[in-house]
Amino acid sequence: GAGVSQSPSNKVTEKGKDVELRCDPISGHTALYWYRQSLGQGLEFLIYFQGNSAPDKSGLPSDRFSAERTGGSVSTLTIQRTQQEDSAVYLCASSLSVTAQPQHFGDGTRLSIL
Amino acid sequence: DAKTTQPPSMDCAEGRAANLPCNHSTISGNEYVYWYRQIHSQGPQYIIHGLKNNETNEMASLIITEDRKSSTLILPHATLRDTAVYYCIVRENYGGSQGNLIFGKGTKLSVKP
């Protein structure tokens, strides 16, 4: 497709379950970013990839969060043993490279932990 | 932390120009000014960016002061669909260690009929 695609668009799960969120960046974009937005809050940066490599994982809020990217394209963000404070909209963005802007965003995955 | 200051909210009449200000007094010489907006339930949408010169595209115009310490985003003929939160962001076009955008609280623009 023409834009960044994220799936699922909505996810409701029980506390303690694992969830996997998917991001399909714009074709040819080597840089990929994950952010999250809690209700009524601004965007919080989580992690970025240049190609398949994530040079800095310090933005991930806890060790329950992990992300990977294979083939320089699709990325998955995994949250293990979900907690209620993980409820948020998880947004993915891509750009041609880390040095090139702008970043183009998907519409996010709305994650609700019961 | 965000390096920009924006008013929390603004109103604009439909069909009129919306002028959204942004202060970035600590901007450095190699930092660009970017504008994004976020319409309810959607991801942020890129609008425009610039370094020193004024810029215009099909969505908006960006006016940057000569000292680069502030800028104004202009939507020339606001419509109801322009109601959104508008974010002003400064960053280098070299990503440095992360390349991420740092979003502040933005300006909630309400376009009224």
pLDDT tens digits, one per residue of B1-32: 668 999 999 999 999 999 999 999 999 888 89
In a mutagenesis test of the B interface, which of A38, A103, A109 is the best target, namely the one with the most B β-carbons within 10 Å?
A: A103
Rounded percentage of chain B residues whose pLDDT exceeds 90: 76
Instruction: Give the per-residue pLDDT at A71.
Output: 86
- Structure confidence at residue B38 (pLDDT): 96
The alpha-carbon gap from B112 to the nearest alpha carbon of chain A, in Å, equals: 22
Residuewise pLDDT in 10s, chain A (114 residues): 579 999 999 999 999 999 999 999 999 999 999 999 998 788 899 999 988 888 778 889 999 999 999 888 999 999 999 999 999 999 999 998 877 678 999 999 999 999
- At residue B94, the pLDDT reads 61
Closest residue of chain A to B87, computed from CA coordinates: A42
User: By the CB < 8 Å criterion, does B30 face chain A?
Assistant: no
List the beta bridge partners of residue B55: B62
Which tokens hold the place of A72? Answer: 């320089």
8 A C-beta contact, residue A30 and residue A51: yes
Predicted local confidence at residue B92, as pLDDT: 74
Judged by DSSP in three states, B81 sits in helix
- CA angle A30–A33–A39, rounded 5-degree value: 160
Integer Cα distance of B33 and B88 in angstroms: 7
Tokens matching residue B25: 């007094």
Beta strands at A5-7 and B31-38: parallel, antiparallel or unpaired: unpaired
Q: Tokens for B77?
A: 């003929």
The pLDDT mean for chain B works out to 91
Predicted local distance difference test score (pLDDT) of residue A89: 97
Q: What is the pLDDT of residue B96?
A: 53
Length, in residues, of chain A: 114
Q: How far apart are CA A64 and CA B5, in angstroms?
A: 34
Q: What is the DSSP string of A24-89?
A: EPPTT--EEEEEEE-TT--EEEEEEEETTB-S--TTSSSTTEEEEE-TTS-EEEEE-S--GGG-EE
A105 contacts chain B (CB < 8 A): yes
**For residue B100, is pLDDT > 60?**
yes
Mutation site, B48, B98, B105, B107, interface A, largest A CB count within 10 A: B98
Residue B98 has pLDDT above 70, yes or no: no
Q: Nearest CB to A104: which of B46, B97, B103? A: B46
Structural tokens at position A70 = 């294979």
Tell if the CB–CB gap between B49 and A102 is shorter than 8 Å.
yes
Q: Per-residue pLDDT averaged across B35-45, rounded? A: 94
- Subunit contact A99:B32, Cβ cutoff 8 A: no
What is the spatial distance between Cα A113 and Cα A16, in angstroms, rounded to a whole number? 9
Q: Do A59 and B98 touch (CB under 8 A)?
A: yes
Q: What is the pLDDT of residue A1?
A: 52
Q: Which residue's structure tokens are 């970025």?
A: A48
8 A C-beta contact, residue B88 and residue B2: no
Q: Is a pLDDT exceeding 90 seen at residue B43?
A: yes
